[in-house]
Amino acid sequence: MFSLVNKSAVITGGGSGIGKAIAQLFAAQGATVHIIELNETAAAEVVNQINENGGKATAYACNIAEQTAVNDTFSKIRVVDILVNNAGVAHIGTADNTGEEDFDRVYKVNVKGTYNCLHAAIPMMKERKAGVILNVCSIAAWTGIPDRFAYSMSKGAIYAMTLSVAKDYLNENIRCNCISPARVHTPFVDGFLQKNYPGKEQEMFDKLSKTQPIGRMGNPEEIASLVLYLCSDEAGFITGNNYNIDGGFITLNN
């Protein structure tokens, strides 16, 4: 089950965290993996790991906020069976203390970057009359999280794009879904704690972990497993849906 043999999969932000776990799992399931990543070094490391383990992967240095760069990258990939829009940035702030520069940065990467990849990949899928798109949303799109104004805005847009794409391309046999993780323990989390809570990293890590009713953060491999299912042929009857993977955050925190 869940074989991706003979599938060409594009994963944005595949150099670390959730994207890395997805890339590794997809390769293990037989996909030819294409990692689009701003951090060339991180992407190269993941590609080397995959290839050394008998998989097939290629890295492409690209800023997804730039449409010309995205189009050039997809022209090199040529065949896209699966697109995982995972790349994103975060920002801490409320509506009144989020500066225009930070708001634009979040918008350009999370919203416009996703659009750019959709804009490039969908024509390739339409030509083949098949394709699967998975967008990484967030619980921030569904519930109020303090000090996450710009980030929440961007993830709300991800959900709206998911519905629109799922509806527009039903006749092209293109499926589109999204997932909404709660906090996941990635290098980003560790870096955030080191930067903002020096000397109190473990204390804050425990506090953040306990915001999930299940009592811990998720791990990237758990997220990747859900993504694999939704992108596999076994999920062929699923489109236009969001899946919370949040340790009970949304439904059990009331």
Query: Confidence band (pLDDT; 50, 70, 90) for 29?
Result: very high
- Please report the pLDDT score of residue 254 as a whole number: 64
Is 151 one of the catalytic residues?
yes
3-state secondary structure the chain: CCCCCCCEEEEECCCCHHHHHHHHHHHHCCCEEEEEECCHHHHHHHHHHHHHCCCEEEEEECCCCCHHHHHHHHHHHCCCCEEEECCCCCCCECCCCCCHHHHHHHHHHHHHHHHHHHHHHHHHHHHHCCEEEEEECCHHHCCCCCCEHHHHHHHHHHHHHHHHHHHHCHHHCEEEEEEEECCECCHHHHHHHHHHCCCCHHHHHHHHHCCCCCCCCECHHHHHHHHHHHHCHHHCCCCCCEEEECCCHHHHCC
Residue 27: is its pLDDT beyond 80? yes
Instruction: Give pTM, 2 decimals.
Output: 0.96
Among 115, 151, 169, 229, the one annotated catalytic = 151
Q: Which CATH class is domain 8-182+218-248?
A: alpha beta
- Please report the pLDDT score of residue 253 as a whole number: 85
Residue 137: is its pLDDT beyond 80? yes
- Please report the pLDDT score of residue 195 as a whole number: 87
